Every structure is written in structure tokens, then in C-alpha cells.
Chain A
């Protein structure tokens, strides 16, 4: 059968292209520094179930959470139908999973209800973005043409895919009825609409064919669009959540090379362990993407651009330049500029410079994308980290970039340099004499009861 062969070719090409793109992304992530993240398997699995599968953090905002849940569950359940489509497509069968009998009926019924909910959710999402313009989704220097277009492309694609599914189901049922055989499955949504396409067999066959092909082609296209899109999070959020930093949020990473240096300073007998063979001399902190860890790079491939982090950031709320989402998106942009672009859709809008953030010519993450002004506005309050539904750690990147500014460039703001000097000279960040440190205890009384 020609159509089976055509289907097979299309499917193999689509999947092959996807694998090719994924390999580029893996190479990009591997640009980052090595960092061992292991252990605590049970805790990590618990997080994976709660945060990634269970969408726990989405429920901080109930309305989008429920809508997102429809799309997410719909996506998973409808995949069952995709399996069927694949098998039918390759072997020329028709509704092969129908052999499951009542199970199939339930599956199809759930499928249709979910497909309808997906349409409703996507329409509301579109309205929120384009009509009511929810600020966190539309505002901010990082929300340029491409991220906005991207979101809409995905939402419209999903709606189209669901309609294709319904068209296929409607025509298929009508055809079955006309030919007098039984179609397996129960179709609560398309069933009542069975007659909308009339009863011309040829037309119905075309509609069923188009609906079926549109669905499978749409899915393959969608899959290959993912790597260019924030929707890549449907893949990366799982590993990203699994590798969440489990230490308390206030615990910042320790720079071990500095520990060795200081120990050697304090104790001349201290032997600094040799660096691993062939390792490049490491800079302190991060200037560019290869100075970040693979986890920080994975973070940026996981960002859904939802803006939850930026909308709770005290610096952003009060009008400062800092937007944690921008830092994450900048990291991704820079990584793809420096490494390989997996994009098939290489949107030129991506590099459009934003109005307020003036970057320099130097094409590194620091200064080329993220300016020191943004970095210095961070209060390290962890609100962004807490809010992120996919457990991205925006703060760790901010600190690594700050470390580069201070340790490699001595480019801290003057007042911070004064603070550093005070600590060095007086053991306190303020210019007080260490000999006054205990003055608070002078003439101290307590009312002693009985």
C-alpha cells in the first residue's frame, strides 16, 4: 500500500529529524561544567512525582493550573491514540486497539472529553495572552516577538490537532454507520455530531483521511518544533526536576578551588590536590555559558517562559532591570549562539535587542546578554527559585555571574568594595572598630523575678 509506505517514510524522517535536533541540544548542555549531582534517589523520585508529574507548584495559581492540567493530561492520554495511529499507519490496520473492547471504549471516551477540554483550555490561554494581556506573559524586555509568537503557535497547533482528531472520529463513525459495520469505541463528543459532514461516502473518506493525516503530520511537526520552543519543557522538565538542588535554598555553592588556595595560604604544608589531567585552568565564577554547570544549562532549556519568577521578584516588582526569567532565557540564547542551533525555525527575532537592557559588543553571556546592573539588583531572596514550576535555579546563575564580576574583574560597585574592605580590616561589614564589638554588653540589666 502506497499510503503505508508514505506513512513509514514520513514517520522515520520526522523521528530522525527530532533525534538529530536532540543531539545538538545534548551537545549544547555538555558545554557546561561537570557537576556531580547524585544520591537521594528516593527524595528525587518523590520530587519528580510531585512537581513534574503532579504539577504541584502550578497550583500556586489555581486557574492556569487547572487549564494546564487539562492540556497536560490530554497530551498524555491522547498519546494512546497516537500509538494506535502509528500502528494503523504502518500496518494498514484500522482502529487496531479496538480489540481491547470495553477498555478501548473507555479510552476513546476519555480521549474525546479531554480533547474538548484541551480546546477550551487553549482558547482561554490564547485569550489571556492576546486579549487580557496577563502582564507576566506579555511584559518584560525578554518577551520579544519570538517568545510571544512561539506561545501562540503552540496553542493554535494544539487546537488544530484536536479538531483534526474530531473530524477523523466524526467521519469514521459516519462511514461505519453507512457501511453497516460496528466501529469500536464510544465517542461522547463526536458521536452526536456524526451527521455534520453529510453522508457522501467520498467526502467522508476524504475528511477521515485528511483528519487522520493532519493529526499524525501535526504531531510529527509539533515534535520537531519543540526544540525551537519553550515547549521543550514537556521533555526537559522531568530530568530538570529530578536534578533539583536538594540543599537548603540559602546554601550557596562552595568554590573548592578557592578553598584549596586559602588552605595553602594558611598552612604552607597543605598540599593542593592536582587538577584532573587536561583540565583547563578554571576561571572563578561564570562569564559565559561554558562556565556554568550542565544543570544550569539544562535549566534554561526547561524554562517555560511563564514569568512566575519575574512576577515575584522584589527587584522586578519595584521597577529594576532584573528579571530572573530574562537571565534564564539569555542563557539559552547565548548557548545556541555559541554552540549549535537546534532550531529549524531559526527566528531572527530572537536576537533583537531589548529597549532598556543595553548590552556591549562583547558576545559573552555576561555583558553581551546580562548586564551588571541586572545582577547587582538581586537580593538573593529565592522568591524566583520558590516560584518556578519546573524547579529552575535562577539564583545560582546570578551568583556565578556576580562571582566573575568580583573575582576576575574586581568590578563590584564601589560601596560593595568598601564593605569588602571593612570586613577585611575590621571583621565587620561596617566601618566600626573591632574593639567596640562588645560594647553592647556594657551596663546591661535584667529584671530578675523571684
Chain B
């Protein structure tokens, strides 16, 4: 029997006051918390966590920006202020393991916080989902509704080249039993969506074309009807790129967590 169940997302402060500790802290990230489109990804991931019964918590209003855009833009001072604040919060709760859907948060906490005293095991949600699938906790019997659909995966620079995670998101997609196609520029040779390095917050410099348009053209060129992403910035940029080509009716952009939640039939 399946029924709708309301989720009360566990907040770290409450858990701590009850003396409980979660298995993992879900780091939502600013895009995950504020971007209207990307909030769906956050919710999809929480549904998966609930579905498989992982003991998790979020920081809720105590979370703040990791400082990634400040650091990439050269504002090391602001970055370190953010980092130290976050490290104080995380250490205050004795957090050991963090999962996040944002490659930028992932990269920053995993690679750049240790120099400032923050040491955690940090997992990107693609790896986390891959593990759930490998352990049989997420089954997607018969491949679900994406079976046979043509899907192309757009590598996020901060997941791929920056941290060598190329296969996890692809293995997650493989569970959908879809028709996966690769763009010519993929994996280590993938083309940036154009938003990294704080580009998300500024107009591009003058040129012939916007980077996301170039990339969206390439993705559309594969004949895929779904562009799968694993990064909030990539999602925005690819969706905008698709729109610029007037293809938003035939090509959709989804995060891998959304695809899994949808295929598993747990979206309410």
C-alpha cells in the first residue's frame, strides 16, 4: 500500500537537544534552499533519505553559504569568515559525515575546510545515491518511467575535473534503464556550463555567445529529451540554454535525485 506521508525535516539543533546524532548531515546549500527550481531537488533528495530510512538532519536556519563563490572570485577574506563560522557550527554538533547535492559546497567543505580546521567525510549525492542503488535500498523495479528515454549527462566541473567523480552519476542514471548518450565533450573533457567561478552572479564578459548556450546546443544535439545534471548551477544554466534554443517543450533538465525519486515513485 502506498500513501502520502508528511515529512518533518529533522533539524540538527532539535536532534542535539534530544542528545541524538544523525548518520549524515544533509548540507542543503544556498541554491538548494532559495532557488525555486532547485528546491525540488532538495525535496527529492529528502524524500529519498526518508524512503530508505537514513538517519539524517539539516542545519536549517543555522546553515550559511560555504563561501565558494567568494573564494572563486578572489575574496579570500570573506571565504574564510564563512568557512570558520560554518566549521564552528558543524564542530559544535560533532558532525562527522556530510552529504550535499551541490558540487561547489562538496568541493569547498571537502577540500578547503581542512586547512581551516574543519575535517569531515563529505559525500556528493551522486555517490550517495550510487551506494543506495548498489546496496539495493533503491530498486526502481523495471526502470520506472524513464526506461528507454534518451538521457544525456552534463558533467559538473566541480564534480568531474575538480574531484574526479565521473562514474557515480552515470551509474545512478544507468539504474533508470534509459538510453544514455554522451556528448562529444564529456567526463574530463566536459564543457563548463558557464556558471562556476562566481560567474553565476555576474554578466558574462563580451564575446560571441554565452557558454551555457554553447553547451545546451551540444546537449540538444545528442537528441536527448532529458539533460541530467548533478549541480544547481549547471541546472540553471542548462535550462536557460535550452530555453534560448526554444526547446523547453521537448528537452527537460532534471537533477539525478529528481529522476531517482520520480522513477522510484516516491514523489508526492
Q: Which A residues contact B (CB, under 8 angstroms)?
A: 60, 247-252, 254-255, 258-259, 261-263, 266, 284-285, 312, 314-315, 317-322, 373, 376-383, 385-386, 399, 402-407, 412-413, 415-416, 418-420, 423-424, 427-430, 432, 434-441, 443-450
Establish whether residues A379 and B211, one from each chain, have CB atoms under 8 Å apart when the complex forms.
yes
Establish whether residues B198 and A444, one from each chain, have CB atoms under 8 Å apart when the complex forms.
no
Contact of A315 among B5, B107, B205 (CB under 8 A): B205
A318-B211, A437-B60 known; A376+B192 contact, CB < 8 A: no
Establish whether residues B116 and A377, one from each chain, have CB atoms under 8 Å apart when the complex forms.
no
The interface size of chain B toward A, counting residues with CB under 8 Å, comes to: 84
Establish whether residues A447 and B268, one from each chain, have CB atoms under 8 Å apart when the complex forms.
yes
- Asked if B181 is at the interface (CB within 8 A of a chain A CB), the reply is no
A314-B211, A315-B205, A318-B211 known; A381+B76 contact, CB < 8 A: no
Which chain A residue lies CB-closest to B40? A440
How far is A445 from B2 in the complex, measured between Cα atoms in Å? 12
A314-B191, A437-B34 known; A379+B196 contact, CB < 8 A: yes
- Asked if B75 is at the interface (CB within 8 A of a chain A CB), the reply is yes
Which chain A residue lies CB-closest to B189? A312
Which chain A residue lies CB-closest to B72? A380
Establish whether residues A379 and B157, one from each chain, have CB atoms under 8 Å apart when the complex forms.
yes
How far in angstroms is the closest Cβ of chain A from B72? 5
Establish whether residues A450 and B1, one from each chain, have CB atoms under 8 Å apart when the complex forms.
yes
User: Chain A residues near B188 (CB, 8 Å)?
Assistant: 386
User: Chain A residues near B203 (CB, 8 Å)?
Assistant: 415
A437-B60, A445-B5, A447-B4 known; A315+B43 contact, CB < 8 A: no
Contact of B201 among A258, A380, A416, A436 (CB under 8 A): A416
How far is A309 from B70 in the complex, measured between Cα atoms in Å? 25
Establish whether residues B157 and A382, one from each chain, have CB atoms under 8 Å apart when the complex forms.
yes
How far in angstroms is the closest Cβ of chain B from A47? 15
User: Chain B residues near A448 (CB, 8 Å)?
Assistant: 2-5, 50-51, 266
Contact of B75 among A321, A407, A437, A447 (CB under 8 A): A407
Which chain B residue lies CB-closest to A413? B202
Establish whether residues A378 and B73, one from each chain, have CB atoms under 8 Å apart when the complex forms.
no
Which chain A residue lies CB-closest to B209? A318
B188-217 vs A, CB cutoff 8 Å, 1 = contact: the mask equals 111110111111111111111111011100
Q: Which B residues contact A (CB, under 8 angstroms)?
A: 1-7, 9, 11, 28, 30, 32-34, 39, 42-43, 46-47, 50-51, 58, 60-61, 63-65, 67, 69-78, 80-82, 84, 107, 110-112, 115-116, 157-158, 161-164, 188-192, 194-211, 213-215, 265-268
A419-B198, A428-B65, A445-B6 known; A254+B205 contact, CB < 8 A: no
User: Chain A residues near B50 (CB, 8 Å)?
Assistant: 446, 448
User: Chain A residues near B199 (CB, 8 Å)?
Assistant: 379
Which chain B residue lies CB-closest to A434? B61
Which chain B residue lies CB-closest to A441? B9
Contact of A444 among B9, B116, B196, B215 (CB under 8 A): B9
How far is A314 from B32 in the complex, measured between Cα atoms in Å? 26
User: Chain B residues near A314 (CB, 8 Å)?
Assistant: 191-192, 194, 211, 214-215
How far is A385 from B164 in the complex, measured between Cα atoms in Å? 13
How far is A399 from B73 in the complex, measured between Cα atoms in Å? 8
How far in angstroms is the closest Cβ of chain A from B125? 15
